Structure 1
Amino acid sequence: MTTTEACAPAEALLSTRNLHVSYPGQGWRAPRAEVLHDVSLDIRPGETLGLVGESGSGKTTIGRAILGLAPVASGTVVFDGERIDQAGRARRRQLSRDIQVIFQDPYTSLNPSRTVGDTLAEPLLGHGAGAKEARLRVSDLLARVRLPADAAARLPREFSGGQRQRVAIARALALRPRLIICDEPVSALDLTTQRTVLDLLLEIQDETDVAYLFVTHDLSVVRFVSHRVAVIRHGRIVETGDAGTVTTRPQHAYTQALLLAAPVTDVAAQRRRREAARRLGCTATSTPSMPCCAPRIRCSGTWS
């Protein structure tokens, strides 16, 4: 693994060490299919760790393993000093107060037959909040994600894709979590809406100090939102480092290929990138770059 760390390590909110995830093979006596190989990551409080790789690289599986939705064959997942990879159902329910998720498709992650208000109130009521307290919190959440108060009485189909993703963000924030796993939260949105949602996530982080594991295939997006970046290929972490370094001066050939796969508007420059990608044997794909995506760097020797 190539490491380009510029920051001194600090106490992590979440750590995975030597994480392996495997599934039963297809067919009689088929060997188990190993999806993750020896994955070690750290996420600090208030930090965004971008996890980037092409489709099938295993990046979503890491998030699922943290959430207890993928079987951990070996290794550990530690949250706030507690090992959680073997946590039972009751403990997982308690952990949902601190660890939440935002899925890629906001429509399929929302119950189409329930109003937004009911969807947002459900986790609050499930963790002991009273009806009045839940209503007030729902109103506050809608204001936080810049949706009108009457949105609580509407169904998910009455919103645009970007608005539905804001509802999904509000639901993730309902219990005031310390870590949110963002699984491709903007890949299904147009570029302008992507920017709106990303700005909202950054604003919420500044206000609440929540940490994000931001899963994506797009280096331009991960550069915009992340403090540090980890690059995954075939279930292995191949490069880690601060966002500015990994997304502009990558050391690993695969990260270089990902960077070259992101289109640019200059025709001549795009031709040169394609030629360079062919020389690298690039098979990675990416979406068009975000507008005005300057790197998000907080680190200059010490973490702040």
Structure 2
Amino acid sequence: MTDDVIVECIDVNTHFGALHVLKNVNLTVRAGETVGLVGESGSGKTTLGRAILGIGPVSSGRILFDRQDIAGVPPRDRKGNAAAIQAVFQDPYTSLNPSMTIEDILTEPIIARGQAGKAEATAKVRTLLDQVALPSDAAFRYPREFSGGQRQRIAIARALALSPHLIVCDEPVSALDLSTQARVLDLFIEIQERTGVAYLFVSHDLAVVRHISHRVAVMRGGEIVEFGDCDQVTANPQHNYTRRLLLAAPVADPVRQAERRAAFRALAMGA
């Protein structure tokens, strides 16, 4: 494990009964970078993210974080800075407690982790809201008063509250419309440039991953079939499955779209 690698998965396997979901997965995320983890539904990408977070099982293998093996260890039992890995989940409508104000949502993890008292945590709320480009008076409102994109900004602020080194982003823009997606992705990039936080960015959409990632890992059937620099993987993929993911993305030109569909069918027949 080199100095700039903050999390390393080594031969990680997960079984759910007889179902082998993760198969000898090897993956690294470096400090300050975004690794896009892309694949279709059921490929195992969310299972891997949950394993890193400590909320999903690991049958065998190691997950090294801060040089400690955290595989299968829930967050409350992890030594050192257990708050250093945080998450932003897919659905901004169900990931926030509707009965709490935004101030309470943002201060709760800070106080619960003992990082600050009530007054200091409350003072930090304005900074957190500013980081995600929301007005300070948002603190006194409830989640139902915000749009989906704004709620996801609040979820990002909550993840940032504990100053993490890594955020696992599980399909964080898939529930948003295209224009809102682009703004939230740009926000992720701006936050990373300011704070140096790393992301494991899980998505089924290779176009989204291409927008934000430094490196891309492609999962299929519980295995990583391709992993490399974003430009290389998305412009010159080596695996047929990655080529199919690229061809599956729609384009506005109907002629090009027809050509892509034909190429996709040809690859699918040869898979």
Does TM-score exceed 0.5, indicating one fold?
Answer: yes
- Residue of structure 2 aligned with 1:54, choices 10, 28, 40: 40
Alignment match, 1:68: 54
Q: Aligned ranges for residues 1-150 of structure 1 at < 5 Å?
A: 11-24=4-17, 32-87=18-73, 90-92=76-78, 95-128=81-114, 129-150=116-137
For 2:23 and 2:159, how far apart are their aligned partners in 1?
29
Q: Aligned ranges for residues 175-190 of structure 1 at < 5 Å?
A: 175-190=162-177
For 1:91 and 1:139, how far apart are their aligned partners in 2?
31
Q: 1:255 to 1:10 in 2, by over 3 A?
A: farther
Q: Aligned ranges for residues 213-232 of structure 1 at < 5 Å?
A: 213-232=200-219
Q: 1:56 to 1:95 in 2, by over 3 A?
A: farther
Shift of 1:186: 0.4
Q: Which amino acid aligns with 2:98?
A: P
Q: Aligned ranges for residues 150-299 of structure 1 at < 5 Å?
A: 150-281=137-268
Shift of 1:91: 2.6
Q: Which amino acid aligns with 1:260?
A: L
User: Over residues 138-172 of structure 1, what are the superposed CA-to-partner deviations in whole Å (9 max), with x where a residue is unaligned?
Assistant: 11101111111111111111100000000000000
For 2:179 and 2:74, how far apart are their aligned partners in 1?
41
Q: 1:89 to 1:258 in 2, by over 3 A?
A: closer
CA RMSD of aligned residues (A): 1.7
Unaligned runs of 5+ residues in structure 1 are 1-8, 25-31, 283-304
The structure that is helix-richer by fraction is 2
For 2:216 and 2:67, how far apart are their aligned partners in 1?
23
Shift of 1:92: 3.7
Corresponding residue pairs, total:
269
Q: Greater CA deviation, 273-282 or 214-223?
A: 273-282
Q: TM-score, normalised by structure 1?
A: 0.85
Shift of 1:130: 1.0
Moved over 3 A (4+): 92-96
